[in-house]
Structure 1
Amino acid sequence: MTDIKTAWAALRSLKDKKIPTLEEMFLHDPDRAQHMSLRVNGLYVDYSKQRICQDGFQALIALAKAANVEGWRARLFAGEKINTTENRAVLHPALRGSAGSAEIKNQIKHMAARTRTFAENIRRSKTIKTIVHIGIGGSDLGPRLCHYAFEASYPARFDLRFVVNVDGASINDALKDLDPATTLIISVSKSFTTQETRMNTNAALEWLKQGLGDKACDHMIAVTANRQGALDFGIDPAHIFEFWDWVGGRFSLWSAVSLSLQLTFGPDVFDDLLAGAREMDEHFTSAPLAQNLPVIMAMVGIWNRNIIGYPSLAVVPYSRRLRKLPAYLQQLEMESNGKGKTRDGEPTGPTCPVIWGDEGTNSQHAFFQHLHQSRNGTPVDFIAVLQDS
């Protein structure tokens, strides 16, 4: 197998040659869109409009093999501690039923049963009318993205509001015109020490106390990996829903972090979300690299960032329901890949691009002139849906 340095050198050598324009590539290969697109689990992805020649694509797949992507993938799903910085496993696929030891699977099954029972009981209750979800970063972006996406297809049992900014307007706007007696507060923090979330949770608790006195904690829920921290804060043990240190915050959507979604739309809807992710896990772990959608998208990113040198990537969903997708992907990619050193402590080259974007068609009247005319050049991922529900 080609070693990693040789694979990188072969890839970079293509940069010294004249990379054809897209028009030239399609003239040379009119069927380019047919063999540079994939249909996977209801998704159609066309990467033929990326400025990648066939030699470039083959060199990218060779780089993936030289980097032992398949081996690292196996280690991830086996639960090995591939997060060497914190000496932890990276096992969020286990939350989707795609990985994990028998012990971990039992822990997940137990917590899923707890969240389902709790959600069903609250949904049957005639008391609660509003859910206020307090979080930041991964404790906010995933659930908020899914909330907007689900609204088109599923009836909302409750009014779901989100609090994220330490600016007092965020918590004040969320609590405006609400009755503490009909409101459930969910504080979501992996560490339960995140400053912004603690400040907003304190403000929410004081608001509950003003209306409910010593019954305030009956309306306060904690989702955290720090059970003791939640107990010290005064949360009822029965109201603490845990996830684990092997779940990175930006991947925590699949855990009890999405309790507010289960409450609002029902546990069955959340289970369907997990099932869809599990299907993609199965594709990722079984498809050859050259027909593997996550691998191809990652290698396209390497081509654009490390070979052509594009500094950013625009993500433009032509669906209002997916308007938070660019923000969600910002954290997912930039926090994961925005590194300055390798595992061995050596300086990296350019890593991930700056991720940005907004919903179309408003984007066309905001920054598309830059896309058309700027000399920097910016790849764009356009996302469309067949129907809006």
Structure 2
Amino acid sequence: MSSSLTHKPAWQALMQHAAELRSSHLAELFAADAGRFDSLHRTFGPLLFDFSKQRLDARTLPLLFDLAAEQGLAEHMSELFSGAAVNPSEGRAAMHWALRLPAEHGCVLAGEDINAQVQAQLQRMDDIVQKVRSGQWRGATGEAITDVVNIGVGGSDLGPLMVTEALTDSRPANDSPLRVHFASTMDGSQVSQLLGGLNPHATLFIISSKSFSTIDTLSNAATARGWLERELGELPGLLACHFIGVSAAAERMMEWGIAPANQLALWEWVGGRFSLWSAIGLPIALSIGMAGFRELLAGAHAMDEHFRQTPWADNLPVLLGLIGIWNTNMLGINAHAVLPYDGRLKELPNYLEQLEMESNGKSVNLAGDTVDYATCPIVWGTIGPNAQHAFYQLLHQGTEPVTCDFIVPARRYREAQHSLAVAELRAQHELALANCLAQSRLLALGDAAVEDADTLPRNRRYRGNQPSSTLLLDELTPYSLGALIALYEHKVFVQSVIWEINPFDQWGVEMGKRIAVDALACIRGDIKRLPGADASTAGLLARIMAGSA
């Protein structure tokens, strides 16, 4: 890879185009082109991607495609889907896409039938799900499991939590009353609150950790184990009845006490933040059933095939990724808000924060050189209706440009799934839809969307010209959610190719955890002084130690 990305012809052409377009306002672009939506939206399956409110014109996409071609996007896509070592710093493939292949598809890597291994683990998941959801899985004292606690962190928590929350309405009719909970924080606050309200006789724990060495996860697992032993005593088979492990480290699971029958496998080619499609997704399957989980996989696989086969001009991940490049690098917008207008998607912004910033938050390229251009923007967000009462003030009238993704299902409450009247719930969904459309319109058009805006005082005017995209789902289902998540996964890959960085490692996460080992030894009194401590850390440690004396 060349380290002179910003000097390449396609990059320079885009910078020149951006300079020419920067003075144009979205209100002017819409006024000049009545067919703007028709030409600047695409559909795939249950998704409609509207990017007509982005600050671009008919010249922009061809120039972005030139950049993608110059950066070898097609070749990199082929490498990704061939099982090549696209994670060079760790010498690994990145084959999360293989986790959602249909059973009949072949996938051989280094002489191993990868899909056969995946299907075998899915069948083991299916067996566990059937036993737990039917009440056949019993605790050590013979009670059926009523509550499942997933203990994990990062990708072992955020993905399963997000999908489980999003698909609460997708549980089968007359479903099992099984409740699924999540604990991730290393300070023990989540697990302690959960345990206080659970029945130890009927609680099953899933310990999810690719390495089975993550201190956050193992600390919570030890707390859960201690709680069970105190409440139930050290009964024969206690761990076998109350703990399942999901990891790529079978020996470490065994050492902890999880028998092979209760182990589910991962592979080194599955990155944590791309792992919800694997056995890490067991909490999802326990919540919505295995049939629903397979629908989730099917939606993601459909997006994989769309990404692989569709020309760039109609390819949703390519378009989403390249438009992000345009905003970040050509327009200089370094903040991006994710705004779902559906309470079931409340965890989606947190999930995408990790997916995008842990993947592409890099400043060294594949050649080992420091980059001289922006990479991943700051990503944040929350449920849109709540955000309207929190940070939309900054979006509308602040000094910072921000791009936004509005995400909303077109239909909801088609059946009487709730105790409330369907008409009342549909009215609330219509209110959410109206606000989603209104907010994106005002952000784009500014005063042009307001009647008699020129008569208002300056503090009540709206500058507009804030770019946004809208992802409209037909309905929020396992299939459409699977497609949506895979869309963002491939967006991240597209952008990594343009930026010439590795999206599949995360060395920035590691060193702080290593340094914490010495700090922990100091706090626990194993060492008297932290080696090489700066004045701030030393002062804080002294205060902590004085309070614990």
Q: Is the structural similarity TM-score above 0.5?
A: yes
If asked which structure has higher relative contact order (CA below 8 Å, sep 6+), I would say 2
**8 A Cα contact 1:138 1:252, kept in partner:** yes
Letter of the 2:357 partner, please give it: M
> C-alpha deviations, 1:282-338, integer Å up to 9, x for none?
110110011100000000100110011111100100000001111100010111111
Report the more deviating stretch, 94-103 or 361-370: 94-103
CA distance in 2, matches of 1:285, 1:66: 18
Match of 2:396 among 366, 372, 384: 372
CA distance in 2, matches of 1:71, 1:16: 30
> C-alpha deviations, 1:16-47, integer Å up to 9, x for none?
32432111211222111111101111101100
> C-alpha deviations, 1:159-212, integer Å up to 9, x for none?
111101112221011212212120000011111111110100110111111233
Report the more deviating stretch, 312-321 or 144-153: 144-153
Q: Give the deviation of 1:216 after TM superposition.
A: 2.4
Letter of the 2:169 partner, please give it: A
Letter of the 1:162 partner, please give it: F
Match of 2:199 among 176, 179, 196: 179
**8 A Cα contact 2:170 2:288, kept in partner:** no
| 1:128 and 2:145 are equivalent in the alignment | yes
When residues 203 and 10 of structure 1 are mapped into structure 2, their CA distance, relative to the original with a 3 A threshold, is same
**8 A Cα contact 2:97 2:304, kept in partner:** yes
Q: Give the deviation of 1:347 after TM superposition.
A: 1.6
Letter of the 1:353 partner, please give it: P
| 1:100 and 2:107 are equivalent in the alignment | yes
- Secondary structure at 1:380's aligned position in 2? strand
TM (norm. structure 2) is: 0.69
- Secondary structure at 1:133's aligned position in 2? strand
Match of 2:238 among 216, 222, 226: 216
Q: Which runs of 4+ in 1 moved over 4 A?
A: none
**8 A Cα contact 1:76 1:82, kept in partner:** yes
> C-alpha deviations, 1:364-388, integer Å up to 9, x for none?
1101010011121101111111233
CA distance in 2, matches of 1:30, 1:269: 41
Match of 2:14 among 11, 36, 41: 11
| Structure 1 stretches lacking a partner, 5+ long | none
1:243-322 aligned at under 5 Å gives the runs 243-322=266-345
1:145-184 aligned at under 5 Å gives the runs 145-155=162-172, 157=176, 158-184=178-204
Match of 2:91 among 87, 90, 94: 87
Partner of 1:117: 127
Q: Give the deviation of 1:52 after TM superposition.
A: 1.2
Partner of 2:353: 330
| Structure 2 stretches lacking a partner, 5+ long | 137-143, 414-549
> C-alpha deviations, 1:80-124, integer Å up to 9, x for none?
001001000000000010783161011111111111112112222
| 1:342 and 2:349 are equivalent in the alignment | no
Partner of 2:29: 25
**8 A Cα contact 1:261 1:270, kept in partner:** yes
CA distance in 1, matches of 2:190, 2:107: 38
> C-alpha deviations, 1:254-295, integer Å up to 9, x for none?
000011121222111100000010111111011001110000
CA distance in 2, matches of 1:181, 1:70: 54
**8 A Cα contact 1:225 1:245, kept in partner:** yes
**8 A Cα contact 2:171 2:289, kept in partner:** no
**8 A Cα contact 1:305 1:351, kept in partner:** yes
Question: CA RMSD, aligned part only?
Answer: 1.5
Report the more deviating stretch, 132-141 or 5-14: 5-14
Q: Give the deviation of 1:57 after TM superposition.
A: 1.7
The percentage of counterpart residues that share the same residue type is 39
Q: Give the deviation of 1:15 after TM superposition.
A: 2.8
**8 A Cα contact 1:243 1:255, kept in partner:** yes
**8 A Cα contact 1:119 1:263, kept in partner:** yes
- Secondary structure at 1:152's aligned position in 2? helix
CA distance in 2, matches of 1:54, 1:347: 33
**8 A Cα contact 1:152 1:388, kept in partner:** no
| 1:352 and 2:355 are equivalent in the alignment | no
Q: Give the deviation of 1:131 after TM superposition.
A: 0.3
TM (norm. structure 1) is: 0.96
Report the count of equivalent residues: 387
1:19-58 aligned at under 5 Å gives the runs 19=22, 20-58=24-62
CA distance in 2, matches of 1:194, 1:382: 34
CA distance in 1, matches of 2:56, 2:26: 8
CA distance in 1, matches of 2:283, 2:348: 18
CA distance in 2, matches of 1:338, 1:262: 31
- Secondary structure at 1:193's aligned position in 2? coil
Letter of the 2:410 partner, please give it: L
CA distance in 2, matches of 1:383, 1:111: 32
